Amino acid sequence: MNDPSLGEHDFANLKKAGIRLHYVAAGDRSKPLMLFLHGFPECWYSWRHQMKAFKKDYRVVAFDLRGYGESDIPSGMHNYTLQALIDDVKELIEELGYSSCVLVAHDWGGEIAWHVAMEYPDLVDKLIINNCGHPVRFMEHLHSHWSQFKKSWYMFFFQLPYLPEILARSKDLHFLNDCYMSRAFGIQSPEMFTTTDLEAMKFSFSNKGTATAAINYYRAIFSTKPMKTKRITCPTILIWGDQDVALEVGIAKGTEKYVDNFTLKIVEGASHWVQQDRPDEVNRLMAEFLKE
């Protein structure tokens, strides 16, 4: 994680939010900003392949979302509402000295990124989402497909107190082994995710309070009033690994109803962790999209 080719570590003090976020940055500061948002249960390191690929043309910045890695871990479910997470992105962009960015996201980071593009459209020049459905499209698919409802069991399990984080922390965070390296759910290209990579993910999830914070993302979204959705106007690409066992590919289809300029690219044989599973293909799709 301290590989200098990935970038330099630093912290941003978000005065409005009252928290400090850890980030890793590379590339010339005069270049446009490319900001990366990770998912559950990840950290900034999940973007290592993309940071190396795009640091020549962008100021690439990947950060630990609040509650993760070396970022602050505020206590209480109320600190993990979508509005708080969206505003973190807004304030971080400003703190980094930019007025807009190419926003790249995966999983829970994608949920945040969709809403950033809706709430603060001037902040997002282009939107790149990996395996995270548009909020409205996801709910449509969830309500109309029992198969997706069953696959989303963990979201409901996370509403229980205490037990989810107890299980998450047990046996040296063994659930991360299952997430990344199991044959069913894990990365389908084993050579792309080593035991060293797994230890990096475990390190970022091992802080006291991180398990509760990460699960509070799910608790807060179930416990607060849904945010209003608006049509997305910036050019958007959704990259989807079709072997995602938690999210059906049908969620991705139909997204054009909610986005003015939309592209969908299916990566066959790739898992939910598509940007780590097939980095060369994802990087190629990103580069082609950015040239348009």
Omega before 41 within 30 of 0, i.e. cis = yes
Q: Is 280 a catalytic residue?
A: no
Alpha helices by DSSP H, 55-134: 82-95, 108-119
Candidates 64, 107, 197, 277; catalytic one? 107
Query: 3-class secondary structure for 144-187?
Result: HCHHHHHHCHHHHHCCCCCHHHHHHHHHHHHHHHHHHHCCCCCC
Strand partners, 13: 20
For residue 133, report the phi and psi dihedrals to the nearest 5 degrees: -75, 150
Q: Distance of CA 225 to CAs 80, 81, 121, Å?
A: 13, 10, 22
Residues near 25 by beta carbon (within 8 Å), at least 6 away in sequence: 7, 8, 10, 59, 60, 61, 62, 96
Which residue is it, tokens 């807009």? Answer: 100
Catalytic residue among 80, 180, 218, 258: 218
- CA 12 – CA 109 distance, rounded (Å): 18
Say which of 22, 49, 141, 272 is annotated catalytic: 272
DSSP secondary structure code for residue 258 in this structure:
S
Closest of 255, 227, 16 to residue 112, by C-alpha:
227
Q: What's the count of helices (H) and strands (E) in the chain, helices before strands?
A: 11, 8
Query: 3 catalytic, yes or no?
Result: no
218 tagged catalytic: yes
**Active site (catalytic) residues:** 107, 218, 272
